[in-house]
């Protein structure tokens, strides 16, 4: 049984649906990467899972439970965590406070998790009292990921984590993603830098016009000439 | 020297007292704006409502024949604050929450709050009539006079007992709020929600709970501010009328959504008002021999009846020069 299972999802913001029957399954050991052209519904898929827009048909099953259209504050205690693409840190709060907010749903001692997050992103330790809004783009992304990890998720969802970042930060983020997965957290990621992301994806999903187009392991998709020609560009 | 003491009594003590009242009211307004994103016009009437709750409770105590060294009005304030907080929650549940659930725009909520204002004003007049009341009908207001040991000084520094309670309770409220916002989980959750409500939801913060806590704090502080104002002056149904403009000006001056800004803004406005209506010719009198012009009898920046223009002017200047306020709050 998969950790998360999307079946025939139809979802949108109210008007015409953006997702027209999307299917996806991810295990805790997977790094799932969603790629595709603009407007394909990649980010929409993550938002549909997290209850940020209405799913009108189909179901989302997490850890064996039907969580379709559950609100975010019910999903986080269950082990789902989401890093949005934009506005993904509390800019007026310090780095440390951002992490504390990530652990809001937890009532136990969070020191161990804090240590783990600072170990993962050592640059942030010196900046822990600084407002997150004052950090560079790459460091902000680290704060965003750290915030999402503080709730000890079983599945971490990331919406274009490398967007707007220099190649160095992008590689660092991807390295961290692989490490997080190695520690037992499932990953479901939307990425524009398709080539680099698919290189370490265990499951790749190509979406176009709100539907699945190609599905396979990351390597399979990279090797497929159709996929490479249509969607991976240069 | 006497004139300086007069200045101190009128402008400094007056400024601190008025500033405290404005600060408490402005904090409620700014918190509601930061979390719920609308201008709560009815806040002045929440202060009036709070003052009347205290009045009723004090009356009950007096009728039961309970007498304490503390004025009964002050004694019942904690209970009144609890009741006012409950009423604030009720008002939100009855009027604003249903609109929010239907996706109402901030302007709609503002207009709803104007409706709530009129409702509260009507209800208060219905139950209490329109006359002015005093908390000190049955017991006298204690006045403290500090004699200064300087030569030739005949005027004492004067302040009343309610004023001491006001300043003390404002200080306690501010410190308590500070600790709540910076040390407690819920307080930080509130700041997070004011910062980025979508991300707060995504992080799993219980946004409904934060909204309820916001109303509790706003309602309780409004009750405290309204009661203290009524203790200092008198209790009138239209207590709110002169308050709404200054507390909004204070909240905007401090940066909407920033609690500390609202407190600072409240004091700026309190002092601005008392200094503007102060008769400065009093301070010029000692120099009358040196000055080349005759000192007019009354030299005030603003006549006492027009003191609302001070808040209005500050509001206009802030909106023109720096709309986000001192501490860079929200601008929409």
Nearest residue of A to residue B200, measured between CA atoms: A101
Look at the alpha carbons of B313, B317, B320, B325 in this order and tell me if their dihedral is positive or negative: negative
Q: Using 50, 70 and 90 to split pLDDT, how confident is the model at B138?
A: low
Burial of B155 (0-12, 13-18, 19+ CB in 10 A): middle
Sole residue written with tokens 């997977």: A30
* A7 has a pLDDT exceeding 70: yes
Mean of pLDDT values over B265-285: 86
pTM higher than the cut 0.80: yes
Cβ B188–A84 below 8 Å, yes or no?
no
In chain B, which residue's Cα lies nearest the Cα of A75? B204
Question: A168 to each of A23, A139, A140, A162, B213, how far by Cα in Å?
Answer: 33, 12, 14, 10, 44
In chain A, residues with a C-beta closer than 8 Å to the C-beta of B191 are 90, 92-93, 97
Strands A155-159 and B157-160: unpaired
What pLDDT, in 10s, does the model give residues A156-183?
999 999 988 888 888 889 999 999 999 9
Q: Do A87 and B192 touch (CB under 8 A)?
A: no
CB A128 within 8 Å of CB A135: no
pLDDT for res B296: 74
Residue B280: band (very low, low, confident or very high) from pLDDT cuts 50, 70, 90: confident
pLDDT at A233 over 60: no
Environment class of A149 (CB within 10 Å of its CB; exposed 0-12, middle 13-18, buried 19+) = buried
Give B152's pLDDT tier (boundaries 50, 70, 90): low
Would the pLDDT of A232 be above 70? no
What tokens were used for A76? 């986080």
Contacts of B199 in chain A (CB under 8 A): 84, 87-90
Q: Encoding tokens for residue B303?
A: 């006549």
Cross-strand pairs, A59: A7
Which A residues, 73 through 92, put their C-beta within 8 Å of a C-beta on chain B? 73, 75-77, 82, 84, 87-92
Among B195, B198, B205, select the one facing A104 at the smallest CB separation: B205
Q: Are A105 and B200 in contact (CB < 8 Å)?
A: no
Give the helix/strand (H/E) hosting A172.
Answer: helix A167-182
Test the B interface: residue of A14, A95, A101, A140 with most B CBs within 10 Å: A101
- Six token digits for residue B96: 């604003």
Instruction: For residues A184 and B308, give the distance between their C-alpha atoms in angstroms, rounded to a whole number.
Output: 63
Chain B residue closest to A73 (CA)? B204
Question: B interface mutation test: which of A46, A72, A129, A141 has the most B CBs within 10 A?
Answer: A72
What is the chain B residue with the closest CA to A148? Answer: B203
Confidence of residue B159 (pLDDT cuts 50, 70, 90): confident
> Are residues A132 and A98 in contact, defined by beta-carbon separation less than 8 angstroms?
yes
Supply B216's token pair.
């509790």
Residues of B in contact with A50 (CB under 8 A): 202
Give me the phi and psi of A110, to 5 degrees please.
-100, 10
Decide if A41 touches B, using CB distance below 8 A.
no
pLDDT of res. A234: 44
Cross-chain residue pair A90–B205, CB shorter than 8 Å: no
Q: What is the secondary structure of A59-109 as a DSSP string?
A: EEEETTEE-TT--HHHHHHHTEEEE-SSS-S-TTSBHHHHHHHHTTT--S-
Pairing mode, if any, of strands A155-159 and A80-83? parallel
Percentage of chain A surpassing pLDDT 90?
Answer: 71
What are the tens digits of pLDDT across the range A64-117? 999 999 999 899 999 999 999 999 999 999 999 999 999 999 989 999 999 999
Does residue B103 belong to the interface with chain A, where contact is any CB pair within 8 Å? no
Q: Residue by residue, what is the 3-state secondary structure of chain B?
A: CHHHHHHHHHHHHHHHHHHHHHHHHHHHHHHHHHHHCCCCCCHHHHHHHHHHHHHHHHHHHHHCCCCCCCCHHHHCHHHHHHHHHHHHHHHHHHHHHHHHHCCCCHHHHHHHHHHHHHHHHHHHHHHHCCCCECCCCCCCCCEEEECCCCCCCCCCEEEEHHHHHHHHHHHHHHHHHHHHHHHCHHHHHHHHHHHCHHHHHHCCCCHHHHHHHHHHHHHHHHHHHHHHHHHHCCECHHHHCCCHHHHHHHHHHCCECCHHHHHHHHHHHHHHHHHHCCCCHHHHHHHCCCCCCCCCCCCCCCCHHHCHHHHHHHHHHHHHHCCCCCCCCECC
Task: Show residues of chain A in contact with B201, CB under 8 Å.
Answer: 71-73
Q: Give me the CATH code for the A1-79+189-234 domain, please.
A: 3.40.50.300
* Cβ pair B203:A92 closer than 8 A: no
Which chain B positions have a beta carbon within 8 Å of A97's beta carbon? 188, 191-192
Select from B121, B122, B167 the least CA-distant residue to B22: B167
Evaluate if residue B99 carries a pLDDT over 50: yes
Cα–Cα distance for residue pair B112/B299, rounded to 1 Å: 42
- From CA B252, how far away is CA B322, in angstroms rounded? 10
Distance from CA of residue B90 to its chain's centroid?
Answer: 21
| C-alpha span between A25 and A5 (Å, rounded) | 4
Helices B207-232 and B161-183 sit at what angle, rounded to 10 degrees? 170
Q: Which two tokens stand for residue A120?
A: 């993962």
Q: What are the residues facing A81 on neighbouring strands?
A: A156
Distance (Å) of CA B88 to CA B70, B96, B123, B259: 27, 11, 15, 19
Strand ranges (DSSP E) for chain A? 4-12, 19-26, 31-35, 54-62, 65-66, 80-83, 155-159, 186-190, 203-208, 211-216
Give percent of chain A with pLDDT exceeding 70.
Answer: 99
Query: Where are the domains positioned within chain A?
Result: 1-79+189-234
Mean pLDDT value of segment B297-320:
84
- Of residues B74 and B173, the one with the higher pLDDT is B173
What's the rounded Cα separation, in Å, for the pair B206 and B163? 39
Q: Is the pLDDT of residue B284 over 80?
A: no
Whole-angstrom Cα distance, residue B242 to residue B45? 11
- Distance, in Å, from the CA atom of A152 to the CA atom of A109, rounded to the nearest integer, reads 12
Strand partners, B187: none
Token pair of B97 as six digits: 């929450």
Mutation site, B101, B183, B199, B208, interface A, largest A CB count within 10 A = B199
Distance CA B132, CA B137 (A): 11
What DSSP designation does A129 have? T
């Amino acid at each position: 049984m998969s950790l998360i299972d999307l079946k025939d999802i139809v979802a949108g913001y109210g008007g015409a649906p953006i997702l027209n029957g999307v299917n996806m399954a991810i295990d805790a050991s997977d790094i799932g990467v969603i790629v595709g052209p603009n407007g394909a519904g990649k980010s929409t898929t993550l938002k549909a899972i997290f209850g940020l827009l209405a799913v009108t048909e189909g179901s989302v099953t997490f850890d064996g439970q039907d969580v379709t259209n559950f609100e975010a504050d019910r999903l986080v205690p269950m082990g789902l965590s989401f890093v949005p693409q934009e506005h993904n840190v509390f800019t007026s709060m310090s780095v440390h406070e951002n992490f504390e907010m990530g652990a809001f749903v937890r009532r136990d001692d969070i020191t161990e998790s804090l240590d783990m997050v600072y170990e993962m992103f050592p640059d942030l330790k010196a900046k822990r009292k600084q407002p997150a809004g004052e950090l560079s783009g790459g460091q902000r992304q680290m704060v965003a990921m750290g915030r999402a990890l503080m709730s000890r998720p079983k599945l971490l969802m990331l919406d274009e984590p490398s967007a707007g970042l220099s190649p160095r930060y992008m590689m660092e983020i991807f390295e961290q993603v692989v490490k997080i997965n190695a520690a037992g957290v499932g990953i479901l990621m939307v990425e524009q830098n398709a080539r680099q992301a698919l290189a370490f994806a265990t499951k790749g999903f190509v979406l176009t016009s709100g539907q699945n187009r190609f599905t396979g392991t990351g390597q399979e998709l990279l090797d497929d000439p159709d996929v490479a020609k249509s969607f991976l560009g240069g | 020297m006497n004139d300086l003491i007069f200045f101190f009594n009128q402008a400094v003590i007056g400024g601190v007292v008025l500033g405290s009242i404005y600060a408490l009211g402005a904090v409620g307004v700014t918190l509601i704006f930061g979390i719920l994103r609308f201008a709560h016009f009815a806040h002045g009437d929440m202060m009036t409502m709070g003052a009347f709750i205290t009045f009723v409770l004090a009356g009950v105590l007096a009728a039961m024949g309970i007498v304490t060294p503390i004025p009964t009005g002050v004694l019942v304030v904690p209970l009144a604050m609890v009741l006012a907080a409950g009423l604030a929650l009720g008002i939100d549940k009855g009027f604003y929450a249903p609109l929010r659930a239907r996706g109402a725009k901030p302007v709609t909520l503002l207009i709803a709050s104007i409706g709530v204002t009129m409702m509260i004003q009507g209800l208060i007049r219905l139950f209490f009539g329109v006359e002015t009341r005093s908390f000190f009908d049955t017991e006298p207001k204690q006045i403290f006079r500090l004699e200064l040991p300087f030569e030739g000084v005949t005027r004492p520094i004067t302040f009343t007992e309610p004023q001491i309670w006001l300043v003390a309770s404002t200080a306690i409220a501010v410190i308590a709020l500070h600790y709540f916002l910076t040390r407690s989980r819920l307080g930080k959750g509130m700041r997070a929600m004011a910062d980025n409500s979508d991300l707060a939801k995504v992080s799993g913060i219980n946004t409904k709970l934060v909204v309820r806590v916001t109303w509790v704090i706003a309602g309780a502080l409004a009750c405290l501010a309204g009661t203290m104002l009524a203790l200092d002056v008198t209790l009138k149904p239209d207590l709110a009328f002169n308050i709404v403009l200054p507390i909004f000006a204070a909240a905007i001056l401090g940066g909407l959504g920033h609690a500390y800004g609202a407190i600072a803004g409240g004091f700026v406005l309190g002092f601005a008002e008392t200094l503007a209506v102060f008769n400065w010719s009093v301070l010029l009198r000692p120099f009358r021999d040196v000055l080349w012009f005759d000192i007019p009898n009354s030299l005030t920046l603003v006549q006492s009846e027009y003191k609302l223009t001070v808040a209005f002017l500050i509001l206009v200047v802030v909106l023109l020069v720096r709309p986000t306020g001192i501490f860079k709050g929200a601008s929409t």
